């Protein structure tokens, strides 16, 4: 039990051992929080969403299937929670650039800092589905297979979509970087 897999813990939750969710929370809340922060740029909102995801896991625990990866199921819930919250709060799909800018608090060398600042602005201007894809594939480092399960498509489609998302980000990023340089 101590080194139980995510899937067996969620199975235990499903069978009524709600306490097993605490271990899953300890394992995943930070990466979920970062997923949301990178997608919406808002720390408070991201904390609300992490809380929401774990409560949804309890509510919809009967929908968990042990033969599918837990991570894919978790991120599916995360995506739904995000979409619902945006709809509820009447957010714009692209969140404010200000929110992304506020996140940057880490000391880095100036050039890298500038690049990351521009990148955050570019991310904020990207459509939500592309931003999500980049966060899952790059920050969360999920495997193609896992992303395919989250999005309900095949691995080949994931590769192409990620490429397109990077390309779209590149167009915005280089435009912003060019404006800055000129």
Q: How far is the CB of 156 from other proteins (least distance, A)?
A: 7
Contact track, other proteins, 116-145, x by CB under 8 A: x--xx-------------x--xxx------
**Torsion from C-alpha of 15, 16, 19, 24, nearest 10 degrees:** 40
Q: Would you count residue 55 as binding other proteins (CB under 8 A)?
A: yes
Determine which residue in the list 28, 38, 82, 131 makes contact with other proteins, applying CB under 8 A. 38
| Three-state DSSP class for residue 75 | helix
- Let me know: does 53 contact 74? Beta carbons within 8 Å: yes
Closest C-alpha among 69, 66, 78 to residue 38: 78
CA dist., res. 71 & res. 177, Å (int): 35
CA dist., res. 48 & res. 41, Å (int): 13
Q: Which stretch binds other proteins (CB under 8 A): 66-74, 75-83, 91-99, 101-109?
A: 101-109
User: Which residues contribute to the site for other proteins (CB under 8 A)?
Assistant: 1-2, 18-19, 21-23, 25-27, 29-30, 33-34, 37-38, 43, 46-47, 50-51, 54-55, 58, 103-104, 106, 108, 112, 115-116, 119-120, 134, 137-139, 156, 159-160, 162-163, 166-167, 169-170, 173-174
């Amino acid at each position: 039990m101590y080194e139980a897999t995510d899937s067996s813990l969620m199975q235990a939750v499903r069978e009524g051992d709600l306490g097993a969710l605490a271990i899953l929370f300890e394992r995943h809340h930070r990466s979920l929080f970062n997923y949301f922060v990178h997608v919406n740029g808002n720390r408070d909102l991201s904390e609300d969403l992490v809380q929401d995801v774990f409560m949804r896991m309890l509510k919809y625990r009967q929908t968990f299937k042990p033969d599918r990866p837990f991570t894919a199921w978790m991120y599916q819930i995360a995506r739904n929670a995000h979409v619902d919250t945006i709809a509820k709060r009447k957010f714009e799909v692209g969140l404010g650039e200000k929110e992304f800018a506020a996140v940057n608090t880490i000391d880095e060398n100036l050039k890298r800092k500038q690049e990351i600042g521009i990148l955050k602005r570019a991310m904020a201007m990207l459509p939500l589905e592309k931003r999500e894809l980049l966060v899952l594939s790059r920050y969360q480092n999920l495997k193609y297979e896992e992303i395919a399960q989250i999005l309900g498509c095949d691995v080949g489609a994931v590769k192409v979509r990620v490429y397109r998302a990077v390309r779209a980000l590149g167009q915005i990023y280089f435009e912003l970087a060019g404006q800055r340089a000129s």
